[in-house]
Chain A
Amino acid sequence: MERDFPIWQVLNEEGTVVQPEYRERITKELTMVMYRHLIRTRTFDRKCVSLQRQGRIGTYVPYEGQEACQVGSALALNDEDWMFPTYRDHGAMMTFGRSLVNTLLYWKGRTEGCVPPKGKKIVPPSVPIATQLPHAAGAACAEKWKGTKNAVIVYFGDGATSEGDFHEGLNFASVFNAPVVFFNQNNQYAISVPITRQMRSKTIAQKALAYDIPGVRIDGNDVFAVYFQTAEALERARHGGGPTLIEAVTWRYGAHTTSDDPSRYRDQEESKKRRETTDPIKRVERLMQREGWWNEQWANQVQEEVNAEIEQAVAEMERYPKANASDMFDYVFAEPTWTIAEQKEAYLHWKRVMEG
């Protein structure tokens, strides 16, 4: 099966374009856009880990190492498309248009973080594993019934493929030929459990055979492979070609969350080695150097602009007024039930009395 589903690359580790037919499409402009988003998502992620360590946000889920998966796939979307992410996909969400402030607010435990920008169909991250796959299938059916050309992307990890909802989501989408791209980030670990404990199959892409849909296995650290294959899958979906399963093989350098200690279950040398060899940003730098597009001053400027944007977002997050207790009661139903109305009134009254 590994032979039937080889890992497809456009840009190899050395930054060489290995698919001649894509050569023309890898322009300097596109590469610069990719680079900027990659730097932005990585810098943001590192900032969040540091904010968590300082107690300025809550438990945080880092994605460092997986930026190419998230940036490449999100840039392939049209504005009108839907995104169903997991809790590790805020890199994709921010690339697609979710603000940095809202992303920070989410990790600060605020529901404001789940509200997408106006017009953007970014559903809040699914925390239970694989449960968002059926949602994506259903939202995609709805687009089809409305007669639009909009498509849906849904993200999930390797562990999610062991869940029943993985099967139910893919099966539903396949039966109804729904315009949805199932984007798997195979980072090879579900917290501590390696992929060999999730499945005996050698690839995730091969699972597409069971649903009679295209299955594509790509290098998830190659932002161009991700971008082109996601764009092709979305294009197929928009024109009645139904769902696609994409397996993007990648690696998370760090912990599952800031509460996790990966040294308990894997050799940290592996991550170190991968940072030097397969890193998604390094290989874009290598491409740019190879092509003569690299400009140190420009790269520094990108980094500075990104730093400033992030610092501004952090400041805005920290200026946010304290969470209002009544918010907790106000959005459960369109109209509160008497139980919620009574509980809210009694609690707020008690709180006012206690706080003087």
Chain B
Amino acid sequence: MSVKVSTKSLTLVQAVNDALRIMLKERDDVVLLGEDVGRNGGVFRATDGLLQEFGEERVIDTPLSEAGFTGAAIGMALNGFRPVVEIQFLGFIYPAYEQIMTHAARMRSRTRGHFTVPLVIRAPYGAGVRAPEIHSDSTEALFTHMPGVKVVCPSSPYDAKGLLIAAIEDPDPVLFLEPMRNYRAFREDVPEGKYTVDIGKGKKLREGEDVTVIAWGAMVPVAMKAAEAAAKKGIDADVIDLRTLYPLDKDMIAESVQKTGRTVIVQEAHATGGLANDILAVINDTSFFYQKAPAERVTGFDVPVPFFAHEDDYLPTPARVLHAIEKVMNDS
């Protein structure tokens, strides 16, 4: 007997809103804070309607102060609340970096678990929407490098909702990266009620035997397009959406690479010090002798995320990914 779960068709940003609404309703300790999250419903409307539904003690327009409201949210988390702060764009998170690095990330560790910071920091990230300067950063690696913080990055409405609920329920700080390029790019049937997606687990989007393609966030649709193009050329790609960037789903990466022996990693961010390098380390540690060709990375460049006139040249494209797939197939 199968139980029919009722669903609704949502975009990624609507799925974020749905998750926040469910958690605000379920738990009195959840509060939202950030710039323009209240009356305006967020600049992307991620918190649309929540102030009206839950009041200004739960959905809080703060002074324009990333360090200040992130720091205040740490104090609230220490004192029994589960704050969800919105950084308007990831490129504006840097004033709060100190608060996250020196306090949120290490409070549990330095107090042997006496004080904890169950804090979620949401941030739209990435290029590709013709945004002004500084609005297009994807500096996830600054945070995956930070011990004590989990980093989550969904690419689809279903995962966005399930992962955001899991992040709010997580006892530790979680940076929740929302690919703004995917915010309204497509809809998906999402279950109506509460569900979670496990933090730390990737998702296999496509099964294939020839090559492993690993991507996350806004690069997932790019990787999928490249995989479809490769299929037309008779190359069958295994595509992994990482969904969580720290901790990585080591088992899924290893299982796929051991099957295919060939890997392409697609990363929007700058190449040096990027997460792709940590994925290479996982492959090295788990699957070195299974490899039939050197792994390829398709990444942004070691340049500041450019003005949008250049962003089509900066961002990995399906064509660049396909080229890398063909390269690893031809190497032996």
Q: Could you tell me which A residues sit within 8 Å of B by CB distance? A: 82, 84, 111-112, 114-116, 123-124, 126-128, 131, 133-143, 145-146, 164-165, 167-169, 171-172, 175, 327, 331-334, 337-339
Contact = CB atoms under 8 A, between A and B. Distances in A.
Interface string B237-269: 000000000110010000000000000000000
23 contacts: A114-B111, A131-B99, A134-B72, A135-B72, A135-B78, A136-B75, A137-B71, A138-B72, A138-B75, A141-B72, A141-B76, A142-B79, A145-B81, A164-B67, A165-B67, A165-B71, A171-B68, A172-B72, A327-B112, A332-B108, A333-B150, A338-B200, A339-B247
Contacts of B200: 337-338
Interface string B113-151: 111100000000000000000000000000000011010
Nearest to A144: B57
Interface string B58-93: 000011010111111111111111010000000000
B113 A169 contact: no
B98 interface: yes
B29 to A, nearest CB: 9
Contact of B76 (A142, A327, A331, A338): A142
Given A131-B71, A337-B246, 12 more contacts: A111-B109, A116-B114, A134-B75, A135-B75, A137-B75, A138-B83, A146-B80, A168-B69, A172-B72, A175-B62, A332-B109, A333-B150
Which 10 interchain pairs have the tightest Cβ spacing? A134-B71, A138-B75, A168-B68, A138-B72, A142-B79, A135-B75, A139-B75, A337-B247, A334-B171, A138-B76
Contacts of A334: 108, 113, 116, 171-172
B37 to A, nearest CB: 15
A139 B111 contact: no
A332 B107 CA distance: 8
A112 B98 CA distance: 24
B182 to A, nearest CB: 26
Contacts of B250: 338
Given A131-B103, A168-B67, A333-B148, A82 B79 contact: yes
B67 A138 contact: no
B99 A134 contact: yes
Contact of B108 (A112, A139, A331): A331
Given A128-B98, A164-B95, A339-B247, A171 B72 contact: no
A84 B75 CA distance: 10
Contact of B68 (A140, A165, A333): A165
Interface of B: 31, 57, 62-63, 65, 67-81, 83, 95, 98-99, 102-103, 107-116, 147-148, 150, 171-172, 200, 246-247, 250
A333 B65 contact: no
B63 A171 contact: yes
Given A112-B112, A135-B103, A175-B63, A143 B79 contact: yes
Contacts of B247: 337-339
A127 B106 CA distance: 12
B44 to A, nearest CB: 24
Contacts of B71: 131, 133-135, 137-138, 165, 168-169
B103 A172 contact: no
Say what secondary structure dominates the interface of chain A: helix
A141 B77 CA distance: 11
Nearest to A150: B79
Listed residue (A116, A134, A139, A339) with the most chain B CB atoms within 10 angstroms of its CB: A134
Contacts of A84: 75
A337 B190 CA distance: 29
B282 to A, nearest CB: 10
A143 B83 CA distance: 14
A138 B73 contact: yes
A143 B80 CA distance: 9
B314 to A, nearest CB: 30
A111 B114 CA distance: 11
B108 A134 contact: no
A32 to B, nearest CB: 33
Most chain B CB inside 10 Å of its own CB: which residue of A128, A138, A143, A171: A138
Contact of A111 (B110, B148, B172): B110
A218 B73 CA distance: 31
Given A128-B102, A142-B80, A171 B65 contact: yes
A126 to B, nearest CB: 8
Given A169-B71, A172-B62, A332-B148, A142 B81 contact: yes
A167 B68 CA distance: 8
A112 B102 CA distance: 18
A172 B81 contact: no
Given A165-B67, A171-B65, A172-B65, A137 B114 contact: no
A123 B78 contact: yes
A166 B77 CA distance: 20
B285 to A, nearest CB: 9
A22 to B, nearest CB: 33
Nearest to A171: B63
Q: Which interface residue of B75, B79, B108, B116 has the most chain A CB atoms within 10 A? A: B75
Given A134-B67, A168-B63, A172-B68, A114 B75 contact: no
Nearest to A125: B110
Contact of B78 (A126, A127, A139, A164): A139
B5 to A, nearest CB: 28
Nearest to B102: A128
A31 to B, nearest CB: 34
**Which of A140, A143, A172, A333 has the most C-beta atoms of chain B within 10 angstroms of its own C-beta?**
A333
Contacts of A327: 112
A322 B246 CA distance: 32
A6 B116 CA distance: 41
A149 to B, nearest CB: 14
A131 B172 CA distance: 20
A131 B108 contact: no
